[in-house]
Amino acid sequence: MNVLAIGAHPDDIELGCGGALLRHVAVGDKVTMLVMTTGERGPQDSVSRVLEQENAAARIGAELIWGGFPDGAIPHSRETVTFIDSVIDAVGAQVLYTHGQHDTHQDHVATALCSLSAARRLNRVLCYQSPSATAFNPVVYVDVEETIKGKLDALACHRSQVERCELVDLEAVEAGARFWGHQARMRYAEAFEVPRFVWDITGGEAAVRRVESSAVAADERADRQRLGVIDGDQNGAPRPVPVYLVGGRRP
Ligand SMILES: [Zn+2]
């Protein structure tokens, strides 16, 4: 499966869906990151951000495409949509990750809106959360328990931001993943708003993982009972298992 993730600035993609991209890579999907600007107006020179982004993409195992748009002034225009169109075609994207559109940063909003226009023929489009989001109501979650460390490692490549931008806070990123994981009945998750997502209901991998999760939960429950720890609710109901799984199988 060919996956395209779009971000306005270096580090946006890693913040929003780095864990999911690592899972795509792990199952053999081809992942491409399109970064619209070099973030040259941030608290550092653009050269460092280019190198940081290249290192982060390499750590994820993704190819990297630069958009070449001016930081702070990505136009919401036909030209931007046409450019993203061309990238979708070039990489044969089947799944698209992009910004959510409710955000204080004009580049994030423009990227979100232009991406959605360009993705008009795709049937799997997921929008991730940024620290500057003003509203975010996810309905799809990706289990990133196995990739949260890799996501933090990729983010750490953006050293200029980790050290100088209070919005890039690795501790907060991990806490956020834990929060969304709790919402989705798993340990760590990334969350997505979904303009459009076709669910293959025959999903064998999802079914297998769910059985495995149930088996693990049963083993853990037995251990806890041996140790005298009360599990589940007061009626003895088992803990819920993950139900939202994306990226674990190929179409
Ligand atoms: Zn950004």
**Distance in angstroms (rounded) separating the CA atoms of residues 167 and 34:** 21
* Residue 12 Cα to ligand 1 middle (Å): 5
- C-alpha–C-alpha distance, residues 179 and 207, integer Å: 24
The pLDDT value given to residue 119:
97
| CA of residue 205 to ligand 1 center, whole Å | 33
User: Would you place residue 238 in the very low, low, confident or very high pLDDT band (cuts 50, 70, 90)?
Assistant: very low
Q: Could you tell me the distance, in angstroms and rounded to a whole number, from the CA of residue 206 to the centre of ligand 1?
A: 32
Q: What is the pLDDT of residue 166?
A: 73
Tens digit of pLDDT for each residue in 134-191? Answer: 999 999 999 999 999 999 999 999 888 777 777 778 999 999 999 999 999 999 999 9
pLDDT number for residue 243:
31
> Distance, CA 223 to ligand 1 centroid (Å)?
45
The pLDDT of residue 168 is 74
CA of 63 to the centre of ligand 1 (A): 19
Ligand 1 geometric centre to CA of 233 (Å): 42
Q: What is the Cα–Cα distance from 178 to 174, expressed in whole angstroms? A: 6
| Spatial distance between the Cα atoms of 192 and 81, rounded to a whole number of angstroms | 22
% of the chain at pLDDT higher than 70: 78
Q: What is the pLDDT of residues 13-34, one digit of tens each?
A: 999 999 999 999 999 999 999 9
How many Å lie between the centroid of ligand 1 and the Cα of residue 75? 15
Give residue 16 CA to ligand 1 midpoint distance, Å.
10
The residue ranking higher by pLDDT, 40 or 108, is 108
What residue ranges do the domains of the chain occupy? 2-197, 203-251
Query: For the whole model, what pTM was predicted?
Result: 0.80
Report pLDDT digits (tens) over 84-113.
999 999 999 999 999 999 999 999 999 999
Q: What's the pLDDT at 211? A: 44
CATH number of 2-197: 3.40.50.10320
- Ligand 1: centre distance to CA 167 (Å): 10
How many whole angstroms separate alpha carbon 25 and alpha carbon 95? Answer: 13
The reported pLDDT for the residue numbered 44 is 64
pLDDT on residue 239: 42
Cα separation, 220 vs 182, in Å, equals 17
Ligand 1 centre distance from Cα of residue 76 (Å): 15
At 13, the amino acid letter reads I
Amino acid 91: pLDDT: 96
Sheet with 2-7: list strands edge to edge: 63-66, 30-35, 2-7, 95-99, 124-128, 189-197, 140-143
Question: Rounded to the nearest whole angstrom, what is the distance from the C-alpha of residue 30 to the centroid of ligand 1?
Answer: 23
Query: Averaged over 28-48, what is the pLDDT?
Result: 85
